[in-house]
Structure 1
Amino acid sequence: MSNANTVASDVLHDVPHHTVIVVGGGQAGLSISYYLKEAGIDHLVLEKHTVTHTWRSQRWDAFCLVTPNWQCALPGHPYRGDDPHGFMKKDEIIAYLDGFIAMVDAPVLEHTEVRKVRRVPSGGYFVSTSNGDFTADQVVVASGGYHTPIVPRMAERLPAGILQLQSSHYRNPQALPEGAVLVVGSGQSGAQIAEDLHLAGRKVFLAVGDAPRCARFYRDRDVVDWLADMRYYDMPVDQHPLREGVRDNTNHYVTGRDGGRDIDLRRFALEGMELYGRLDDFRDGCLHFAPNLTGSLDSADDTYNRINASIDAFIDKQGIDAPQGVPYEPVWRPHGERTSLDLAQSGIASIIWCIGFTPDFGWIDAPVFNGRGYPAHNRGITPQAGLYFIGLPWLHTWGSGRFSGIARDAEHIVGAIRLALDQTSTSLAA
């Protein structure tokens, strides 16, 4: 007899078995497949939609990388274009990924949703999907950490005539109805979407969050180039001053658009964008904001100047000849805090929610999650034998969730898989 946490042995014998099952066919899952194929390890990649689906379906039309092209270093597939210090646009990113897909030629089962992964008493895992059941000796979860869009409950009380979109569904200004647009959140997506609308001549209201910002270029180089020379991108999470707390940090806002530039919300304000603090509520026909706009802008600028100061110190220590840098000085300051906005009078016809995602690993039946649903792991290796994660922010380094660091993480995890398989073979032989 079986219960909710076990599977009858006769069932296990009737389903296809693979040494490794990889859940997720994005760049993380395909990178795992690359190293598994290199090691000659039987595996299957299960993808809910189609490989690299997110890049094709959840990016706006003007989307481009915020890190330079030279950081695109998927395993066996580095950037080979003629603009290493440029920033690939959406179509170019997809072409780059298509090349990676063809090169890896992973064994993928697309349109297959994984509904449950559970450990079986005899060892290994039972994997239930929308396309049949499987068993595996080991499972790599490569579905990322951005699953459920965050939209506050206040959204339910907004007038039905207001178009509401989550950032992953925004495409371009022309797709929105006439009228002003409220963008909620100023992380990478929020700041860039607000800029996209602003450049198109739309009236934009921006509810500013606590995201930090950084310079695009400083002292005649891309800030990413300086930080790479400073070995910041090689710093493991356990050596970061915030330790694992850095995983909760919001990404700095900056853009690679039009060759790359800063995103300065204060300058947008000078040009007519309306900035408010954090959006807290909607009642009595008014949007209500926290009185924290000044603090949020100042904090973002402090981070901007602090990063540049660390570059200054590096330049001085190394004796590098570089143009002199100067701290950023605000070009605009709020004249007091505005804490309410009459929705009808504002002319807002659309709201774009850019306040992030939460992870959803409820389909994994394993005792490895903390109170916030985040898996405990060391470089993607969990306390549960044979269960691994990859593609999460700061899994090991800053680049873990990006093109730049996924190869290192995938190679490490496949090394752990090989070791576990060797140990199992040795045990059986004994």
Structure 2
Amino acid sequence: MSPKTTHYSVIIVGGGQSGLSMSHFLQQRGIDHLVIEKRTLVHSWRSQRWDSFCLVTPNWQCNLPGWSYQGDDPHGFMVKDQINDWLAGFVEQVQPPAIEGVTVEKVSRAGDADQFTVQTSAGSFTAGQVVVASGGYHKPVVPRMAEKLPMDIVQYHSAQYRNPAQLPEGAVLVVGCGQSGAQIAEDLHLAGRKVYLATGNAPRCARFYRGKDVVDWLAEMNYYDMPVTQHPLREGVRDNTNHYVTGRDGGRDIDLRRFALEGMELYGLMTGLDGDELEFQPNLRENLDHADRIFNGINASIDKFIASRGIDAPPGEPYVPVWQPDRERTRLGLRASGITSVVWCIGFLPDFGWVDAPVFNGRGEPVHLRGVTGQPGLYFLGLPWLHTWGSGRFSGVARDAEFLAEAIASAGAIVPPVERARQAHAA
């Protein structure tokens, strides 16, 4: 669409599931607004996921406003094409007032005026209030040591990885074992590729335990309703790496130890490159043990819940390691190992440099309470643990968006009836 005006009561920056959820609730309240999307609506689900990608949470948790999962497999895990079809339906249902292919270059207070100036690649707009719904994963992390790798070694970030055939023949080094790293390592391993995996301290969890998906148990335990203010780590939980598990082929655990039994080479944290040799910390055993402690700890909390409620469930037992490293290896020769490609799976950094407002901490992260900042009229939506575990996911963003819509309405952004009639006539 082409904007019919340059001023809106609310401008939403970002057209993913968060921005569209915000648009849904603003439309319900008769609040005029504009969604500005840098690429296309829900773009990241099409462009930043590999071919075999699937959800790691069951389909029943897909619960965007007015658009819940309605398929016949609520306990299954949608694959990439199914997710995008579902999201396309959400876009059609919301029909947001949006402009695509427009980059927001700066958001700032318009002098002493009680409004914001939003400078974009398509010109400037003003708004009474602004919702930053662009997510928190903006800049792919690739360490400087990548520059030292030989020129003939192909390098990708996880956001660029699509499938094993994309990589040249030879062994693959996957760096990082969070959700993306563990699943990409599995994808390559299942395709018969020789994989070297540089691990970190990512946690893991079971897919199924005592007769149900672990997600189902945690939902019954009200874990997904726990606000960040009540979490034992408080805001520190936002720094946690996501647990690795998969929904692939109906869902299963990801056990790096089992991969090692099958020929995957595991190493500790990668720290550098010395000539032709990669360097690692001697902490592989520590990383594996840490992941298993989290795994068993979650299951133990489920055991406690089952016992406290007298629930009839199949018995469970702690995970026992199926493999142990016989020694810590701290060096790996690139040529000797036959590594021809590297996939960096060490995450993303937020980049809110375009938001000119005194609402950030020393790490460039917005300081907020449930998305409401100290700058009147400026809000954030869709960030991990913005309010609950589901805040950055399909399961919780609707609750957050509705909360912010109420905050916006209370701040006086509702369009007066006369102005609404004028806009309707102009349309």
TM-score by length of 1: 0.95
Partner of 1:6: none
2:52 equivalent to 1:77: no
Whether the 8 Å contact between 1:15 and 1:133 is mirrored in structure 2 is: no
Separation in 1, partners of 2:293, 2:201? 12
Task: Name the amino acid aligned to 1:222.
Answer: D
Pair 1:383–1:33, CA change in 2 (3 A): same
Candidates 265, 269, 285, aligned match of 1:278 = 269
Runs (4 or more) in structure 1 with deviation over 6 Å come to 422-425
Candidates 40, 54, 58, aligned match of 1:50 = 40
Whether the 8 Å contact between 1:15 and 1:135 is mirrored in structure 2 is: no
Partner of 1:103: 93
Q: 1:407: how far off?
A: 0.3
Separation in 1, partners of 2:170, 2:113? 61
Partner of 1:3: none
Candidates 182, 188, 201, aligned match of 1:197 = 188
Structure 1: 5+ residue stretches without partners: 1-13, 426-430
Q: 1:216: how far off?
A: 0.1
SS in 2 for 1:165: strand
SS in 2 for 1:181: strand
- Map of 1:25-36 to 2, 5 A cutoff? 25-36=15-26
SS in 1 for 2:105: strand
1:7-32 per-residue CA deviation (whole Å, 9 max, x = no partner) reads xxxxxxx9710000000000000000
SS in 1 for 2:411: helix
2:400 equivalent to 1:409: yes
Pair 1:81–1:15, CA change in 2 (3 A): closer
Whether the 8 Å contact between 1:22 and 1:29 is mirrored in structure 2 is: yes
Partner of 2:229: 238
- Map of 1:121-270 to 2, 5 A cutoff? 121-270=112-261
Q: 1:61: how far off?
A: 0.1
Task: Name the amino acid aligned to 2:52.
Answer: A
1:139-197 per-residue CA deviation (whole Å, 9 max, x = no partner) reads 00000000001110000000000000000000000111000000000000000000000
Partner of 1:38: 28
Separation in 1, partners of 2:414, 2:97? 25
Separation in 2, partners of 1:15, 1:259? 49
1:61-81 per-residue CA deviation (whole Å, 9 max, x = no partner) reads 000000000000000000000
- Map of 1:312-391 to 2, 5 A cutoff? 312-391=303-382
Separation in 2, partners of 1:15, 1:156? 47
Separation in 2, partners of 1:256, 1:308? 18
Separation in 2, partners of 1:109, 1:74? 21
SS in 2 for 1:381: coil
Partner of 2:282: 291
Task: Name the amino acid aligned to 1:353.
Answer: W
2:304 equivalent to 1:308: no
Partner of 1:7: none
SS in 2 for 1:67: coil
Whether the 8 Å contact between 2:268 and 2:284 is mirrored in structure 1 is: yes
Task: Name the amino acid aligned to 2:405.
Answer: V
Q: 1:422: how far off?
A: 6.4
Pair 1:39–1:366, CA change in 2 (3 A): same
Q: 1:132: how far off?
A: 1.0
Whether the 8 Å contact between 2:55 and 2:77 is mirrored in structure 1 is: yes
Separation in 2, partners of 1:348, 1:295? 25
Separation in 2, partners of 1:362, 1:139? 15
Separation in 1, partners of 2:318, 2:55? 26
Partner of 2:80: 90
SS in 2 for 1:421: coil
TM-score by length of 2: 0.95
Candidates 384, 393, 411, aligned match of 1:420 = 411
Pair 1:369–1:340, CA change in 2 (3 A): same
Q: 1:423: how far off?
A: 10
Partner of 1:428: none
SS in 2 for 1:116: strand
Separation in 2, partners of 1:107, 1:159? 48
- In the comparison of the two structures, how many residue pairs are matched? 412
Separation in 1, partners of 2:359, 2:415? 22
Q: 1:283: how far off?
A: 1.4
Separation in 2, partners of 1:168, 1:383? 33
Pair 1:423–1:59, CA change in 2 (3 A): closer
1:211-232 per-residue CA deviation (whole Å, 9 max, x = no partner) reads 0000000001000000000000
SS in 2 for 1:86: coil
Alignment RMSD, CA only?
1.2
Whether the 8 Å contact between 1:16 and 1:134 is mirrored in structure 2 is: yes
Task: Name the amino acid aligned to 2:57.
Answer: T
SS in 2 for 1:169: coil
Task: Name the amino acid aligned to 1:156.
Answer: E
Q: 1:424: how far off?
A: 11
Percent identical: 68
Task: Name the amino acid aligned to 1:122.
Answer: A
Separation in 1, partners of 2:68, 2:276? 52
Whether the 8 Å contact between 2:10 and 2:413 is mirrored in structure 1 is: no
